[in-house]
Structure 1
Amino acid sequence: MDANPLIPESRCPVSRVRIDSLDDMQKVLRSKAVEENADVSADNYICPNALAEINVREFQAGNLAMINGDLHRQRRRLLNALVRPEELVRFREDIILPSVERWMDRSVKKNEDGLYGCDLASVVELIFLEFAAKIIGIQGVESEEGMARLRACALPIFGGLSASHFEDREGVTRAGVEAKKVFVEEFFRPSLAFVKKQLERLDAGEIGEEEVPLNLLRMIATEAHESYHDESVAVNEAILFFVATTGTSAQAVLATIEYLSDWFEAHPEDRARIEDMEFISQALQETLRLRAPFVPYLTRLAVEDLEVGGVTLKAGDEVHAWVARAGRDEAVFGANANDFDPDRGVPEGISRYGLAFATGPHQCLGLRAVLGNDGKSGSHLRMVQGLFRAGIRRDPKCEAQVLEMRNLEDPRDRIPTYITFPVVLDKWSASS
């Protein structure tokens, strides 16, 4: 943990405090002395700037991740209904797994060497886009053209939401704002109008309850929380769900494929363990420990003085919680904490995935969606298993492309965001 000195042009007499040990971070994130703050998240707090203000306004202000107190508790309780255990089973069996088969069938092609392959980044993104469309309530994605149009919004919006972490912040912000316009005009507003019309038909007895499924847009249409009356809040809530169910999910699957591929090269005897869901779960959680939340750090604002362990905060301090770095804490995960090891022993009371889903009031809603209600049945796990059954390996002739993050001195903090991920599937056939 270290604190940088006051930056001269700062508007606030505060320090930027960095936390990178797991124990300290756990205590800070669980404390009522720190809160979420959109200005801190967008790097607009200590030194305000025009790009950061755009990031706050266009992507962060008012969404679930950036509110606190009673407002957060009310909205969180409301949104929990979208990730109930029975809903997650339905999403896995009726939406995600069927879409895996459909999009793989459409995307896998034979190359000039007679090998079957695809760009896995685009396929995984399409799969999770279908999930996002269902949980949000987005219409217009039934055709490949509609899905392609929505997919074109995904990576730029992810970048816009997290723009402060990228090297070309201006370009990333500009692309994100343009993608948001498409998302709002072509998907959000028409889909909301559709849900409202369906609700009118439901009230008139023309259709049954099953034809108006529970999703985010139904909550917005009925103003299940009064804050959803503000369209900007409703849009930013939808964007948060859009990014959380596409960008981070896709990156988690791709990174697990990468790490497990290396592991199997070094431990070929473990390939048979792809049939063991506990092993697959351990591998995914190990990946999350090393890389999630797929940006270098999370942020908080200290609203009260706090002293825990090696951390001293003063009210007004900006907090940077380096989550992936905490996941590599040797005091917790051992001397080889920087290495991927799905068989790693983890101390009692410590999650295998570290703080990948954060902790405290703002713990990620998607924890059970990723791992499943029992920790071994999540859609992400089944997807990874299926890909290795199909003999997946990285395409030796094509390198993956990544979106460049800001230059960070420590290689542990350079977390790749894959734009492309070319693979070969040795056990695929045209009839697969």
Structure 2
Amino acid sequence: MTGTNILDDSTVTLTRYQELWDAFRQRELRQGLYTAGGVVMRDTLLDLHGSDHQLRRRVENRLFRRGTFRTWEADLVPEIIDEAFTPVIARGAADLVLLGTRTVMNLTAKVAGVDRVTGSVRETDALQEFATKFSEGATLIHTTRDPDVVRAEVSEALGRFDEMFFTPSYERRTALLADPAVAEEEYPKDVLTALIRNREELRIDRDVMLREVAFYLQAGSHSTANAFTHSVDEILRWAERHPDRAHRLDDDLFVQRCVHEVLRLHPASPEARRQAVTEVTLRDGRSIPAGTFVRMDIKAANADPEVFGADAAAFDPDRTVPSGVQPWGHTFGGGMHACIGMELDGGTVPKEGEAEHVLGTVPLMVRELLRHGVRLDPANPPVKESHSSRDHFGSYPVLFGREVS
């Protein structure tokens, strides 16, 4: 049974889990979603193909290793969560969209190599405004506005971001790397430092570094914050339906399983798009001519009943999946363009005897809220974004502590 649909003469849509698994691993299908957004995406990791992509990925993979994630999870992530969560928990109420955005933005800036000089909320919010504009530029293919107007706005925002954040961060790292008195272990462990250290090998200039950092800023903050809000939503509603099982939320590994199920049901990007560089033959024998665009429907594939069961569209943290299938489905992509930060977001799937299990940023954030009795605000229900076709919340008010009857 195939889920392939022909949209037009130059586009093929894939909707089944195995179809996407195959397509993600076809090396002659290059990234096709971000070409229009070149103002911010040109020559970034996600837009590169072939040997240039392999080289950039190899350099940045040195940063995104499991040992690094474990170090961040032990020190950096809890510190950032505490900084953002403590004030709202003390107040007894929060908007999860704002809380998640601010928390994740601070973490993403740290990973990307963007210094927060003052550490203020105003500074964090400024970074979020830039990230939102960069995201609009990256997904220009989906805009309903005049593309030239959007490009001009993104270009202007990139210039202000360069002056306010990138230039000071770039100059600080350049000076550190040039100082013989600074030991290598003292270098910042972030993307920008990796790019500066390997600029000759990568054959990149400062403008490419600027766009790469901007790309990390918008991609990391958006996806993680969205997963955080959806995770709390699904978990609270599951607990309402199963009060006799709510005690299981005291178990960190169960919370992580809940988050993995949420990532499957609510992918940050509901689709991926590729373009055939040469003629490509899929495993089932179908041929995709050179130049053809391939639209991969991630949301549909993640709910494929042949893989995830007849109730694939429902939230079930006890769901079992076939061997070789990740519990989050295709949410993080696959093949050479698999999300480089997937383990930072959702951690790793626990394995017996494994010494390097990573819980993940989203489970850690959710766990902290659960420890403080997070619950829905009955007077202010959650609201979905009205101006987006994507499954995002515009606001999600919550309260903390036990409800007083």
Q: Does 1:136 align with 2:125?
A: no
> Is the 8 Å Cα contact of residues 111 and 191 (structure 2) preserved in structure 1?
yes
Amino acid at match of 2:309: G
Going from structure 1 to structure 2, the CA distance change for 1:403 and 1:384 (only over 3 Å counts) comes to: same
Cα RMSD (Å): 2.4
Query: Could you list the runs of 4 or more consecutive aligned residues of structure 1 that deviate by over 6 angstroms after TM superposition?
Result: none
State whether residues 11 and 295 of structure 2, in contact with CA within 8 Å, keep that contact through their aligned partners in structure 1. Answer: yes
Deviations 1:352-394 (A, max 9, x none): 1111111111111112212335545222212111212212123
Select which of 187, 192, 196 maps to 2:165: 187
Instruction: Give the Cα separation in 2 of the matches to 1:105 and 1:169.
Output: 42
Aligned position for 2:13: 18
Paired with 2:359 and 2:253, the residues of 1 have a C-alpha distance of 9
**Retained in 1: the 8 A contact 2:134–2:215?**
no
Query: Does the alignment pair 1:370 with 2:345?
Result: yes
State how far apart, in whole Å, the 2-side matches of 1:148 and 1:337 are.
Answer: 37
Alignment equivalent of 1:79, drawn from 40, 43, 60:
60
Match of 2:25 in 1: 30
Which residues of 2 match residues 273-288 of structure 1 at below 5 A? 273-288=248-263
Which of 300, 305, 310 lines up with 1:330 in the alignment? 305
SS of the residue 1:146 aligns to: helix
**2:33 is equivalent to residue 41 of structure 1:** yes
CA distance in 2, matches of 1:325, 1:173: 31
What CA distance in whole angstroms lies between the structure 2 residues aligned with 1:117 and 1:284?
22
Cross-structure match for 1:384: 366
CA distance in structure 1 between the aligned counterparts of 2:26 and 2:229, rounded to whole angstroms: 33
TM-score by length of 1: 0.83
- Matched residue, 1:232: 207
Q: Residue 299 of structure 1 aligns with which residue?
A: 273
Q: Distance in 1 between matches of 2:382 and 2:142?
A: 20
Give runs of aligned pairs for residues 145-224 of structure 1, distance below 5 A: 145-165=122-142, 167-168=144-145, 176-200=154-178, 202-203=179-180, 205=181, 207-224=182-199
Aligned pairs, number: 390
Structure 1 range deviating more: 234-243 or 17-26: 234-243
For 1:234-253, what aligned pairs fall within 5 Å after superposition?
A: 234-253=209-228
Shift of 1:147: 2.3
For the structure 1 residues 70 and 198, does the alpha-carbon distance in structure 2 shift closer, same or farther, using more than 3 Å as the test? same
**Structure 2 residue aligned with 1:397:** 379
Is the Cα–Cα contact under 8 Å of residues 261 and 393 in structure 1 kept in the other structure? yes
Which sections of structure 2, spanning at least 5 residues, go unmatched? 351-357
Give the aligned residue type for 1:31.
Answer: Q
Q: Note if contact 2:273-2:296 (Cα within 8 Å) is conserved in structure 1.
A: yes
Map of 1:266 onto structure 2: 241
Q: Does the CA-based 8 Å contact 2:130-2:161 persist in structure 1?
A: yes
Task: Please say if residues 59 and 236 of structure 1, whose CA atoms lie closer than 8 Å, have aligned partners that are also in contact.
Answer: yes
Cα shift at 1:404:
4.7
| From 3, 7, 16, the counterpart of 1:4 | 7
Any idea what SS the aligned residue of 1:64 has? coil
Rounded to whole Å, the distance in 2 between the matches of 1:130 and 1:349 is 34
Identity %: 25
- Structure 1 unaligned segments of length 5 or more: list them: 7-14, 45-51, 111-115, 407-413
CA separation of 1:287 and 1:396: change in aligned 2, threshold 3 A: same
- The code of the aligned residue for 2:93 comes to G
Q: CA deviation at 1:155?
A: 2.5
Distance in 2 (alpha carbons) for counterparts of 1:261 and 1:175: 39
CA distance in 1, matches of 2:314, 2:43: 38
Distance 1:165 1:351 in 2: 28
Deviation at 1:152, TM superposition (A): 2.5
The separation in 2 between residues aligned to 1:266 and 1:394, in whole angstroms, is 14
Shift of 1:266: 0.9
Contact 2:346 2:363 in 1 (8 A): yes
What CA distance in whole angstroms lies between the structure 1 residues aligned with 2:131 and 2:11? 31
Contact 1:227–1:233 under 8 Å retained in 2: no
Q: Which amino acid aligns with 1:148?
A: D
Structure 1: distance between partners of 2:166 and 2:153:
18
Separation in 2 of the partners of 1:426 and 1:173?
A: 46
**Distance in 2 separating the partners of 1:193 and 1:404:** 41
Distance 2:387 2:100 in 1: 22
Distance 1:217 1:178 in 2: 21
Conserved 8 A contact 1:119-1:421: yes
Go from structure 1 to structure 2 and tell me whether the alpha carbon gap of 1:336 and 1:68 turns closer, same or farther (over 3 Å shift).
same
Cα distance between partner residues in 1 of 2:150 and 2:401? 36
Query: Contact 1:220–1:234 (CA<8 Å) still a contact in 2?
Result: yes
Matched, 1:63 2:66: no
Deviation at 1:189, TM superposition (A): 1.6
Residue 3 of structure 1 aligns to a residue in which SS?
strand
